[in-house]
Structure 1
Amino acid sequence: MWLVMLLAFAMPVSIVCWLVSLVYTIFNEGSYCINPWRWLVAVIAPVIITRWGLKKRSLDKSGAIAGLLVGFVLTISSLCFFACLLTFFILASRATKYKSATKKRFEEDFKEGGQRNWIQVLCNGGIAAQFAILYMLDSGCVERVVDFKAWYNSSLFSMAVLGALACSCGDTFASEIGTVFSINTAPRLITSLRIVPKGTNGGITFIGTLSSALGGTFVGVAYYLTLLMCTSDYQLQKSPAQWLLIPTGTIAGLLGSTIDSYLGALFQYSGFDREKKCIVERPGPNVEFISGSEVLDNHSVNLLSALLTGLITPKIAFYIWQSVL
């Protein structure tokens, strides 16, 4: 019933948006207008996903509102971006809830169900949405192949979106999956490689590192498969090999997790609370210092990691495509 009501609302909204964009295009003598189907998908898809997130308790109400905004921007700009966001959201939610009882033992701020609020949504998807806006301003709302010779700017911005989302997915996989499967392996601080307690900011394991690469790979695969479905065979034949999106996502996931670990080790406080028997991010009378400083919190680290990875990934992608051509 709710789906029928959603369609009844979304269809006239999408038509009105299309008419507005059409009038704007005509008066500004433009040649491109966003079609009503894209408006319809951009309205419906984020609503369905956020409703699912609320039902599964992957989002709270504030996170759902922020998710609608981020989802709309990424969907209207390119379905490839939406596919990456959807992949990250579903897999990250599953990874967060996986063996949550084990994680609860050494995480002070553990939240049952892994619900994300608006701050977490914007820190993980907001940077990608900003790059998507730059993509729209340069190329419009369209799925375009990665070709640094023919479409340099659009390729640059699209790889920035891929990098930001692969970073978020890779970091989530490293912290959520790596923690569980490395239960018998003590992590090492990335800056000094000394053994630290589980849950320490900047602590890495071999399985966690592999998990971050896997998370980025999933995002790259989602982008690649969606591009194949949304792009004509003629355009694909004229363009460079698009399967390179997959290793680009893998590298971005690994890079993002590494940047996140370095920032966490240097600028996030980590201490062991002898009374609670867990890692805390604030000093106190019963807290034994481990590493870092009180400069950034976890949200800030995630935001900066996504930003830096989004800025670096286009350069990496450029050299990957150049080496294959």
Structure 2
Amino acid sequence: MSPIAAYVQPTLRRAGGFALIGTLAVTAPVLGQAAFAPFAAVGIMAAFLITDGPIFELFARPGDRQDGRLNGLAGFALAAAGLAILSTELGLPVELFVASVLILAYGNLGKRLIAETSDEPFVGTAGFVITGTLAGIAGQFTTATIIESQVVIPRYVFLATAGALVAALLREMLFERDDPLVMLASGLLLWLFAYLGSGVEAIELSVALAVTAALGFISYALGTASVAGMLSGVLLSLLVIVLGGFGWFAVVISFFSLGALSTKYRYDEKKQRGIAEENEGARGTGNVLGNAAVALICVICFAASESIPIDPVLFQYAFAGSIAAALSDTLSSELGGLYDNPRLITTFTPVPPGTDGGVTWQGEIFGILGGLIIGIVAFALFPSVDATGSIAIGIAGFLGMTADSILGATIEGDKVGNETVNLAATFIGAILSVGSAITLL
């Protein structure tokens, strides 16, 4: 047996054991207030009673053997017990508790099954998402059947898919020992998604899943995003379509597609000039969220507008303004950086290419173009945005880009990273766009 096979097989068996423990969640509808009990019992036994023997060997992770305690299993079980208490005492729907546990448990199993035949990161992540989604759907359906509540398949599919994407993304960013954190975070976010996406339609969801799956595959295949970046983009796109609509998605995809193309454009030349993005231009989670976190918050607020005493149109303008700033900045830096004689935006003194806050006049024009592109898309697809609003969104994007350059020249460095500066710039673009909307409406 090869060393790899010797490692993979025990790991696969362990994933199967965790999946078996996770399946205890389906007893929650029957146990009611005692839904936490099976997991609490497993957690106590793992932490204090099982110190050797075949069960210990089945569940032990490398660090567990050093401690003589099944810390991984204890953490997994106690996290599930905590979610169960949230379900029985604080109102987390029981079907979401069941789905959260099963998504992680079976998602990990699916990823390990893929590892038996392929070491390709994308394929392993796809195995996690697909297996976790199926388990999440099955868990919600089983729970609804037991408690005799209405079965709503589109809702189950949306929540299971969103939960699997969240869990897969967190698993990419964290370590295996952090599974309890992944489970708790996934459960809480599913609670939020369930509140916001209560009216999802089957046709809309089917198209959303097809489009976002294709987007994820293409972005990874073309090398425009890492696995974590791909997951972030797919999750963001799914939420934008379901919570906002396809018009909102068109705005986002305009940024992703044009931004990716501009990053790859004359990449080797950018590399020689020292201005190329790392990892062959593949965007990671930090970059995706730095540019799109404000937009995601706007979509969530729009979906929850019935509970927020603010005109929902303002969230559309904020959304478009933040994306306009993101695209404006991306085109300015990726295309403007190909030209010579950049100058620091705060003093206009010549600086080397790639200097934070360094701009070229060509880059400024590309930035204006990027903002206007988003303004035009918003005008075409948002009934609330007229021609004047479209121009205002474009200007807000350009001013957000300018703020990005000023922040880059003044505070960006070891303590303040590029993602933080991008986040601030998109927020400024959103605020300025809202200001123009208030003036226009």
Distance 2:321 2:381 in 1: 16
Q: Which residue of 1 aligns with 2:20?
A: none
**Cα displacement (A) at 1:98:** 0.9
Distance 1:267 1:100 in 2: 27
Residue 209 of structure 2 aligns with an amino acid whose one-letter code is V
Q: Which residue of 2 aligns with 1:225?
A: 380
Distance 2:249 2:294 in 1: 14
Q: Which residue of 2 aligns with 1:308?
A: 428
Distance 1:93 1:110 in 2: 11
1:254-290 deviation per Cα after TM superposition (whole angstroms, max 9, x unaligned): 1111010011011024xxxxxxxxxxxxxxxxxxxxx
1:260 to 395, 401, 404: 404
Larger relative strand fraction: 1
CA contact (8 A) 2:329 2:367 kept: yes
**Cα displacement (A) at 1:139:** 5.4
Q: What secondary structure is seen at the aligned counterpart in 1 of 2:304?
A: helix
1:185-239 deviation per Cα after TM superposition (whole angstroms, max 9, x unaligned): x122111121211111111221111111111111122222234xxxxxxxx6xx7
Distance 1:219 1:37 in 2: 27
1:106 to 262, 266, 273: 273
- Structure 2 unaligned residues grouped into runs of 5+: 1-129, 138-151, 159-197
Distance 2:236 2:301 in 1: 14
Instruction: Indicate whether 1:189 and 2:359 are aligned.
Output: no
Residue 349 of structure 2 aligns with an amino acid whose one-letter code is R
Q: Which residue of 1 aligns with 2:392?
A: 248
- Structure with the greater alpha carbon radius of gyration: 2
Instruction: Indicate whether 1:34 and 2:200 are aligned.
Output: yes
- Structure 1 unaligned residues grouped into runs of 5+: 1-5, 22-31, 141-150, 228-235, 270-293
**Cα displacement (A) at 1:316:** 2.0
Q: Which residue of 1 aligns with 2:247?
A: 80
1:91 to 240, 244, 258: 258
Q: Which residue of 1 aligns with 2:153?
A: 16
Distance 1:113 1:257 in 2: 24
Q: Which residue of 2 aligns with 1:122?
A: 289
Residue 159 of structure 1 aligns with an amino acid whose one-letter code is Y
Q: Return closer, same or farther for 1:152/1:134 CA change in 2, 3 Å cut-off.
A: closer
Distance 1:244 1:156 in 2: 15
Larger relative helix fraction: 2
Distance 2:284 2:201 in 1: 32
TM-score (norm 1): 0.71
Distance 1:317 1:51 in 2: 36
Write out aligned runs for 1:49-68 (5 A).
Answer: 49-68=215-234
Point out which structure has higher relative CO (alpha carbons under 8 A, 6+ apart). 1
**Cα displacement (A) at 1:312:** 2.3
CA contact (8 A) 1:132 1:161 kept: yes
**Cα displacement (A) at 1:162:** 0.4
**Cα displacement (A) at 1:112:** 5.2
Distance 2:212 2:306 in 1: 22
Distance 2:415 2:326 in 1: 21
Q: Which residue of 2 aligns with 1:169?
A: 327
Residue 16 of structure 1 aligns with an amino acid whose one-letter code is I
Distance 1:70 1:267 in 2: 29
Residue 127 of structure 1 aligns with an amino acid whose one-letter code is V
**Cα displacement (A) at 1:55:** 1.2
Residue 85 of structure 1 aligns with an amino acid whose one-letter code is V
1:48-96 deviation per Cα after TM superposition (whole angstroms, max 9, x unaligned): 1111101111111111111121111211112221001111111111101
1:73-131 deviation per Cα after TM superposition (whole angstroms, max 9, x unaligned): 21111222100111111111110111112211232764354101111111111220111
TM-score (norm 2): 0.53
Residue 34 of structure 1 aligns with an amino acid whose one-letter code is V
Distance 1:45 1:226 in 2: 18
Instruction: Indicate whether 1:47 and 2:184 are aligned.
Output: no
Number of residues of Structure 1 aligned to a counterpart in Structure 2: 255
Q: Which residue of 1 aligns with 2:89?
A: none
Q: Return closer, same or farther for 1:301/1:81 CA change in 2, 3 Å cut-off.
A: same
**Cα displacement (A) at 1:18:** 4.3
Q: Which residue of 2 aligns with 1:203?
A: 358
Residue 266 of structure 1 aligns with an amino acid whose one-letter code is T
Distance 1:120 1:257 in 2: 15
Q: Return closer, same or farther for 1:158/1:197 CA change in 2, 3 Å cut-off.
A: same
Q: Return closer, same or farther for 1:114/1:313 CA change in 2, 3 Å cut-off.
A: same
Between 55-64 and 34-43, the greater mean CA deviation after superposition: 34-43
CA contact (8 A) 2:305 2:312 kept: yes
CA contact (8 A) 2:263 2:277 kept: no
Q: Which residue of 2 aligns with 1:179?
A: 337
